[in-house]
Amino acid sequence: MAEILLFEALREGLQEEMDRDPRVVVMGEDVGHYGGSYKVTKGFAEKYGDLRVLDTPIAENSFTGMAIGAAMTGLRPIVEGMNMGFLLLAFNQIANNAGMLHYTSGGNYTIPIVIRGPGGVGRQLGAEHSQRLESYFQSVPGLQLVACSTPQNAKGLMKSAIRSDNPVILFEHVLLYNLKEVISDQEYLPSLEKAEIVRFGKDITILTYSRMRHHVLQATKTLVYKGYDPEIIDIVSLKPLDLGTIGISIKKTNKVIIVEECMRTGGIGASLRASIIEHFFDFLDAPVGCLSSQDVPTPYSGPLEELTVIQPHQIVQAVEKLCQN
């Protein structure tokens, strides 16, 4: 057992897979001798050399396409987006090639690529560096999307994603890199398609992921003090959704609220809400609640930025309102 930071857990998972499988390679801007913008690949260039840890030009579409080609020919590349917002420049490669080449080649090619990097609303990073791209990629056929929220699942999801033969996008939150947790030394390979039950309860199901998991946990302290017993589920797999785990919880609590940092229009919460209504409508005793970020570019101003994102007190208020129905 060891207490480590989330970015260190990602580094451990990546390093263990590179040691285990010589086909695993890393590429991206400043991932080599600089060690990555958040030091996830610190020391890798010296250990593995420039052929396995490739510093690329500032050309996201080009090096993502190169990684997809490398995956088609037998390597298992990991692409780091220095900031997830920059990967919009590689959207064509991710959507039209990474997501579709297994199908359009008639199954002749697999694309075992992992695309990862920091995203989410930071602290005064401005609109272009506060993107939540999960909503952009969720509708692309052929992609798997997962979001880590703790050092334990960050390391595990990294390892599982690298071993998958599918293209996987691993979303990391810029404000969680310094989150500290004691994790097991034993190998942990979670499913890329399963949610994680964070807390069992009977009054209401709270569905969340990434940084909002910790806002929900903070709100839960107040809710428990007030006599409520919420069940908390970190959905982890943003695509496909683990409707099995979610459904079992809703059938027990009969109330559900979604808490996300994604935008309200077209976000993960919107898709999740639609699926819940489609599959579990008869088990609901109240409307499906959904707390999302406002549909505005994230302001640079600290106080305004905070107003655009859901805060713990809003979660408490929303849960109380739903439970009183």
The per-residue pLDDT for 185 is: 87
Which of 17, 29, 80, 129 is catalytic? The answer is: 129
SS3 139: coil
User: Mean pLDDT across the stretch 42-66?
Assistant: 96
| pLDDT band of 1, cuts 50, 70, 90 | confident
| pLDDT band of 223, cuts 50, 70, 90 | very high
Q: Are residues 163 and 298 located together in one domain of the fold?
A: no
Residue where a domain stops, chosen among 127, 156, 183: 183
The per-residue pLDDT for 128 is: 87
The pLDDT tens digits for 230-278 are 999 999 999 999 999 999 999 999 999 999 999 999 999 999 999 999 9
Residue where a domain stops, chosen among 132, 153, 183: 183
The per-residue pLDDT for 180 is: 96
The per-residue pLDDT for 78 is: 98
Q: Amino acid identity of 236? A: V
Residue where a domain stops, chosen among 183, 204, 223: 183
The per-residue pLDDT for 175 is: 95
Q: Are residues 215 and 80 located together in one domain of the fold?
A: no
CB neighbour burial string for 70-106, b if at least 16 within 10 angstroms, e if fewer: bbbeebbbbbbbbbbbbbbebbebbbebbbbbbeeee
What share of the chain has pLDDT > 70, as a percent? 100
SS3 147: strand
The pLDDT tens digits for 79-134 are 998 888 899 999 999 999 999 999 999 999 999 999 999 999 988 989 988 989 99
Q: Are residues 218 and 300 located together in one domain of the fold?
A: yes
Q: Are residues 124 and 200 located together in one domain of the fold?
A: no
Domain assignment of residue 189, yes or no: no
Domain assignment of residue 89, yes or no: yes
Q: Are residues 207 and 311 located together in one domain of the fold?
A: yes
pLDDT at 325 over 90: no
Q: Are residues 77 and 99 located together in one domain of the fold?
A: yes
As a whole number, the mean pLDDT across the chain is 95
Q: How far, in Å, CA of 294 to CA of 157, rounded? A: 29
Domain assignment of residue 227, yes or no: yes
Q: Are residues 160 and 261 located together in one domain of the fold?
A: no
For residue 251, give its domain range: 196-323
Q: How far, in Å, CA of 31 to CA of 41, rounded? A: 6
The per-residue pLDDT for 2 is: 82
Q: Are residues 309 and 268 located together in one domain of the fold?
A: yes
pTM, entire model: 0.95
The pLDDT tens digits for 55-65 are 999 999 999 99
The pLDDT tens digits for 175-189 are 999 999 999 889 999
**Number of domain units in the chain:** 2
The alpha carbon of 157 is separated from its chain's Cα centroid by a whole number of angstroms, namely 10
Q: Are residues 82 and 132 located together in one domain of the fold?
A: yes
Q: Are residues 103 and 249 located together in one domain of the fold?
A: no
129 annotated active-site? yes
Which of 8, 17, 60, 134 is catalytic? The answer is: 60
